[in-house]
Structure 1
Amino acid sequence: MEPPGSTTLVMVGEETTSAIRSLERYANVQAASFSGESDAEVARWSVSTSAPYVVHDHDPLGHVAAAWVEFYDDQSTYGVLELEIERAVEAAERHMISVPDYYVVLHPESLPTTWMHWWLGVLADASPNRVIPWPDADDSLASLLRHLPTGRPWPEVESWLPGVAGSVPDRIGLHGSR
């Protein structure tokens, strides 16, 4: 979905807007904050740029993340989580969504516990070098762009996303557990 030469970063956390604004002035960065836009609208915006870096705050797995957090916080049912996973897998198979190259988790220590387990546990378990905890939403993000870690790309969504329903907070990432 993204332009072939672009590296896509999705910012998550309380200070995403200021993080995105801190990168807008760089010529090699196309940055925007989205609120309420559909996956298709964000995809159209993303492919319209030739910038080396595409930075935004629209998580294509946001519905799955919210359903996972709500399930483990006893605010929703397992059926809702399964439905959101199924929808995301179908969208990925139809190339309607794609996981960004990197998730940058701003101030992870300030996130509610279950959200922290989602970002730094569930997602990082799927591709450890592709989820980056970051302490600040300021100009230091520009240096992050220059030193992004390398590693294997994300596995295909359909190979790992169905298993996240069984990824228990406080257990994910522990040897032999899910």
Structure 2
Amino acid sequence: MGIDEWTFDSFSGSGAGTVVAVVGERADEALTAIERMPGVEALAIGDLDPAVGAGRVRASAAPWVVHDADLLAHVAASWIELFDERATLGALEAEVDDALDRFATGRAIMPDYYIVIDPDRTATRWRHGWCGALGRHAPRRIVPASATSGAGSAAGGDPGQALRRALRSLPASRPWPDPDAWLPDLPFAIPDRVGLRD
């Protein structure tokens, strides 16, 4: 189902082609490296208001829209802080409610895929958030992309090449369930254990 096949598998409701969020510590570097990839619009929208970013995604006519916005980052941060005993359950619930409202009103778009650059080099709780708490709801829609092998930047490997490889081999998968069916249960997903018995 990868990018070489030019298929349209968008469950984001965006009106755009397939929407991919690139996350991880080297996501910006990976996104910059694919700016001239044919058929792909690379959008640096991670620092924008989610509604503005959603508008940019919807406006794209490209078959593939790849961006650096993790629309669940505030939810994930509150989830991590809850289990690190730095935040309350109420703070996490407020972030969940805000995210659900953004999705319901179209001010945010759930990507079709998350590509996690160098998950093994990512902080453990964030890796558990992307690959476990989020990934258990549509496991084939979370794609790890290792840039740590081969030649590349001093940080180890080439995140742009890792992203290109991941885009070319995206698996077909059932769509994400509606976020309001699973996001409110996030407080019950325990880091280090999430996804082990699901």
Q: TM-score, normalised by structure 2?
A: 0.83
Alignment-derived partner of residue 69 in structure 1: 80
Aligned residues of 1:67 and 1:81 also touching (Cα < 8 A): yes
Q: Distance in 2 between matches of 1:23 and 1:146?
A: 12
Alignment-derived partner of residue 93 in structure 1: 104
Q: Does 1:8 align with 2:19?
A: yes
- Following superposition, the deviation at residue 86 of structure 1 comes to 1.1
What SS class does the counterpart of residue 54 from structure 1 fall into? Answer: strand
- Counterpart of 2:27, as a letter, is T
Q: Distance in 1 between matches of 2:163 and 2:102?
A: 30
Aligned residues: 175
Q: Distance in 1 between matches of 2:160 and 2:75?
A: 28
Aligned residues of 1:73 and 1:114 also touching (Cα < 8 A): no
- Following superposition, the deviation at residue 119 of structure 1 comes to 0.8
Aligned residues of 1:19 and 1:141 also touching (Cα < 8 A): yes
Q: Does 1:167 align with 2:189?
A: yes
- Counterpart of 2:179, as a letter, is V
Aligned residues of 1:122 and 1:172 also touching (Cα < 8 A): yes
Q: Distance in 2 between matches of 1:126 and 1:168?
A: 15
Alignment-derived partner of residue 38 in structure 1: 49
Structure 2: segments with no counterpart, 5+ residues? 1-12, 148-158
Q: Distance in 1 between matches of 2:71 and 2:46?
A: 13
- Following superposition, the deviation at residue 35 of structure 1 comes to 4.3
Q: Does 1:131 align with 2:153?
A: no
Q: Distance in 1 between matches of 2:102 and 2:163?
A: 30
- Counterpart of 2:146, as a letter, is P
- Following superposition, the deviation at residue 111 of structure 1 comes to 1.3
Q: Does 1:122 align with 2:133?
A: yes
Q: Distance in 1 between matches of 2:46 and 2:116?
A: 18
Alignment-derived partner of residue 62 in structure 2: 51
Q: TM-score, normalised by structure 1?
A: 0.92
Which moves more between the two structures, 85-94 or 135-144? 135-144
Q: Deviations over 1:105-163 (max 9, x none)?
A: 11111111111110111011111011011102122422322221011000001000001
| 1:141-156 equivalences in 2 (<5 Å) | 141-156=163-178
> Cα–Cα, structure 1 residues 140 and 108, in superposed 2: closer, same or farther, change >3 Å?
closer
Aligned residues of 2:100 and 2:179 also touching (Cα < 8 A): yes
What SS class does the counterpart of residue 42 from structure 2 fall into? Answer: strand
- Counterpart of 1:77, as a letter, is T
What SS class does the counterpart of residue 10 from structure 1 fall into? Answer: strand
Q: Distance in 2 between matches of 1:111 and 1:74?
A: 20
Q: Distance in 2 between matches of 1:93 and 1:58?
A: 18
Alignment-derived partner of residue 154 in structure 2: none
Aligned residues of 1:30 and 1:53 also touching (Cα < 8 A): yes
